[in-house]
Copies of this chain bind each other. A is one copy, B any other.
Amino acid sequence: MMQKFVSSFVRNFGARGFLLLFLFALLTPKSTGAQQPPLNLMPMPANVQAGPGSLSIESGFSVALTGYTEPRLDRGVERFLGQLKRQTALLVNLKPAKSAQATLVIHTDHPSKEVQEVGEDESYTLEVTSAGAKLTAPTPLGTLHGLQTFLQLVDISSDGFAVPAVNIQDKPRFPWRGLLIDSARHFTPLEVIRRNLDGMEAVKLNVFHWHLTDNQGFRVESKKFPKLHESGSNGQYYTQEEIRDVIAYARDRGIRVVPEFEMPGHSTAIFVGYPEIASTPGPFKIDEEWGVMDPAIDPTKEQTYKFLDQLIGEMARLFPDRYFHIGGDEVNGKAWDSNPKIQEFKKAHGYKSNEDLQAYFSQRVQKLVAKHGKAAIGWDEIFVPGAPKDIVIHSWRGPDSLAAAAKQGYRGILSNGYYIDLMWSAARHYAVDPLKSAAADLTPEQKQLVLGGEATMWSEYVNWENIDSRIWPRTAAIAERLWSPQSVTDVNSMYARLEVISQRLEWLGLTHRSQYRKMLQRIAGPATPEEFAALKTLTDVLEPVKDYTRGESTSWKAIATSPLNHVVDAVPPESDAGRRFGELVDKFVSASCQDGDTQVRLRAQFLAWRDNDAKLQPLAQRSFLVREAAERSQDLSALATAGIAALDAIAKRQPQPDNWKAQQLAIVEQAKKPKAQLLLIPTQAVQKLVEAASAGGACTDAK
C-alpha cells in the first residue's frame, strides 16, 4: 500500500544561489505505525525529496546500464551488486538485465575525461519509487556517486530490505575532496590502500593524495635512480606496476591519484642513496624519529636540478594526474646555514633569508614540473613570487592563506583543520570550512579558486593495524563538509549518520571497529569475559592525547622502531561512549537536574565505572600493556566517585560547602591530566555535575 507524504521543510542555500529542498518525510510505514527513520546518507546530497512508499530489495534485484557505457561502469555495477549482497545477503542477479525489467536502470550520458580532471561534472539524479529506481548522470563519475547513494539508502525494514522512495539531485560543493595517506613514515600495505580507496568511494571523496617520500622512507621504485627505493625504504616500497594498479583501482572509483615527492626538506631518505644532492655531507641513514629534521636538498647545485629533472620526468610519466605535489614544507634552514657554499650563493644572488632561497628552489622545480607537462601543487611555502598561475596551494596554514592566494588569482585547497592525525573530534573537523574566515569575504569568482580540501593521515603513530581507525569514520564528516551544501552543519545529525556510515564502512572491508577489539585482545592476553569487559569499559572512555603531545614527549619519539601495541594505539581518536555520556549530562543539567530516569542512568554508569578498577586489577597484574593504563583506571574510579557525590548533593538541593566543591574538582583536575598518552573523557561532564551540585542543584543549561 502506498503511503502518504506527510511533512517537508525547505531550506534556502544562498552560497550557490539555488534552492535546496530537504524533505525528511515522516512516513507511516506499512505494518508498524512507527516513524520512518531519517535517511542515513553521508555526505548529505544537495537536494533530497522524500516520496511515498519504498522499493523492496529482493533476490530478483537487477541492474541495467543504458546510454553511454564503458568497462569501468560494468565493474562499478559488479562492485555495487557485490556490496548489495554483503549488506543484505540476498542472492541478487549478477547479470545485467534488459532495461525495462531492471529494478535499477542507470543512464549515463557521455564519457568523462581519459585522465580524471579537477572540476569534471560529478552530478547525478536518483529517483526511487516503489516500482523501481532510475539513476541518471552526465558522466560515469556521477553514476559511480549515485550508486553509492543508493547503497546507503538500502536498509532493513519491517517487511524486508528496502529503499525509501526518494528523489535526489546531487552534485558536490567542491571539486577537490581528498585524503592524504602518508606511506613514508609507516609503509601502507597495498591491501590497506585499496580498502581505503573503497571507503573514499563510499563517501564520494575524489582525490587520493599519496605522500610517498619523507625523511623516513622513499616508497616508490625508481628505474632512473634505483638507490632511492633500494637504500631509502628498508625494502618497503611500491613497484611501478603496483602504483599503476592502484591508479587504475582509484580511477575505477572516480578517484584521482596525486603523488607527493617532498622537497627540499623531508628528504633524508633520498640522501641515503644520493648524498650528492644534500646540503650537508653524508653518509645519511633513514630517519627513525618523530619531528622536523635538518637535512635538505642543496638548492644551489645545478646537479640537483639535473637529478630532479630526471626524477620528476620519470614520476610524471608514472602518475597520469595533471597535478604533481612537490611538498615544500618544514625546511628549518639548519643544513643551509651550515654550508659555506650555500651561504655564498645566497649572498651572490642577494637572497636575504632561507625563505628567499627556498623560493628560488621552488621556482626552478615548478619549471621542471611544467616541463614534464604537469602543474605543481605544494604546501603554502611554494606560493612564491612569479609562480605559474596553474599551481595549487595546499594550505596547512588555513583559509586566510587560501584567501590571500585567491586574491592574486591562485587556486588552493585546505588541509589546516583536517589533520586527522591530531586526534580531534569529528565535530571539530566538521566545523572547518574552506570558505570561512578571510575566504568568506572573497568575490564569487575568487571563491571558485578555493577548490576544496584534504584530510591528512600523517603516519607517525599509524600502521596497517590502526590506520583505518584514525581515518574512519571521522573522514566521512570531512567528506560531507566538502561535498554537501555549506549550510549542512547540524552536528547531532552528523553524528547520528556517522554511526551508521561507520558500520557500513566495515562491511566494505575497513577495520576501524573490529581491529580495536583485536588490539584490546592482544593487550589483555588470555582473559575472562569479565576481565575483558572491564578493559573495554575503561578504554571506551579513553582517547589518545591531541595535537603533537605524543610526538613531543621524549619516550615516544622512536616512531620507526617502537611497536604500536599500546592502549593509546588501540583506542579510537574519539570516544563514542564519552560523547554520549556528555550528552546525557547536558540533557540532565539543562532540564534542571530533575529528570529521574536520566539521574538513574547516570548513577548506574558511575557505579559501573567506580567498580571497574577492581575488576581490571588481575589483568593489569598479568599484562604490561594493561598496566600502562592502570592509573587511568584508578582515575576513572575516582571520577565516578565524585560523580556519585555530585548526584547525591544535587538530590539534596542545598548549596555545598566550598571545600566540598574544591575536593571534587581536585579529583576532576587529577583525571584531566594525560597519562600514558591517554585522556579520560568524562571529566568535563563530571565537572558540570559538581558545579551544579555546589550551586545547590540550581541546574541550568551548562552547555
Contacts and interface: CB of A to CB of B under 8 A. Distances in A.
Interface of A: 32, 34, 37, 40, 59, 87-91, 155-160, 465, 499-500, 503, 506-507, 514, 517-518, 521-526, 529, 561, 563-565, 569, 576, 580, 618, 621-625, 627
A-B interface, 7 closest residue pairs, ranked by CB to CB distance from nearest: A89-B565, A156-B525, A89-B563, A32-B621, A156-B623, A500-B526, A514-B514
A89 B506 contact: no
A355 to B, nearest CB: 38
A159 B622 CA distance: 9
Contacts of A621: 32, 34, 158
B624 A158 contact: yes
Contacts of A523: 156
A91 B561 contact: yes
A51 B563 CA distance: 29
Given A156-B522, A158-B627, A561 B622 contact: no
Contacts of A576: 529
B158 A622 contact: yes
B87 A156 contact: no
Given A88-B563, A156-B622, A156-B623, 18 more contacts: A40-B526, A59-B563, A88-B522, A88-B565, A89-B465, A89-B564, A91-B561, A91-B563, A156-B522, A156-B525, A156-B625, A157-B624, A158-B621, A158-B622, A158-B624, A158-B627, A507-B518, A529-B576
A32 B158 contact: no
A158 B627 CA distance: 8
A88 B37 CA distance: 43
Contacts of A159: 624
B563 A90 contact: yes
A375 to B, nearest CB: 39
A160 B566 CA distance: 12
A442 to B, nearest CB: 39
Contacts of A160: 624
Contacts of A618: 34
Nearest to A524: B156
Contacts of A34: 618, 621-622
A632 to B, nearest CB: 18
Nearest to A38: B526
Given A503-B521, A563-B88, A156 B465 contact: no
7 contacts: A88-B522, A155-B526, A156-B524, A159-B624, A160-B624, A514-B514, A514-B517
A290 B91 CA distance: 17
A600 B470 CA distance: 41
How many copies of this kind of chain does the complex include?
2
Contacts of A500: 526
A536 B556 CA distance: 39
Residue of A37, A160, A580, A623 with most partner-chain B CB within 10 A: A623
A526 to B, nearest CB: 5
A623 to B, nearest CB: 5
A622 B522 CA distance: 37
Nearest to A465: B89
Contacts of A561: 59, 91
A506 B519 CA distance: 12
Nearest to A528: B499
A503 B523 CA distance: 13
Contacts of A624: 156-160
Nearest to A523: B156
A440 B528 CA distance: 38
A179 to B, nearest CB: 24
A621 B158 CA distance: 6
A158 B623 contact: yes
Contacts of A526: 37, 40, 155, 499-500, 503
A358 B482 CA distance: 71
B522 A506 contact: no
Contacts of A155: 525-526
Contacts of A503: 521, 526
Contact of A157 (B156, B465, B580, B622): B622
A569 B376 CA distance: 54
A563 B84 CA distance: 13
A499 to B, nearest CB: 8
Residue of A37, A88, A91, A618 with most partner-chain B CB within 10 A: A91
A191 to B, nearest CB: 12
A37 B158 CA distance: 49
A150 B417 CA distance: 47
A658 to B, nearest CB: 38
Contacts of A88: 522, 563, 565
Nearest to A564: B89
A173 to B, nearest CB: 26
A47 B554 CA distance: 47
A147 B528 CA distance: 26
A561 B92 CA distance: 10
A286 to B, nearest CB: 14
A32 B622 contact: yes
A435 to B, nearest CB: 32
Contacts of A40: 526
Contacts of A37: 526, 622
A524 B161 CA distance: 12
A514 B512 CA distance: 13
A311 B627 CA distance: 62
Residue of A465, A524, A624, A625 with most partner-chain B CB within 10 A: A624
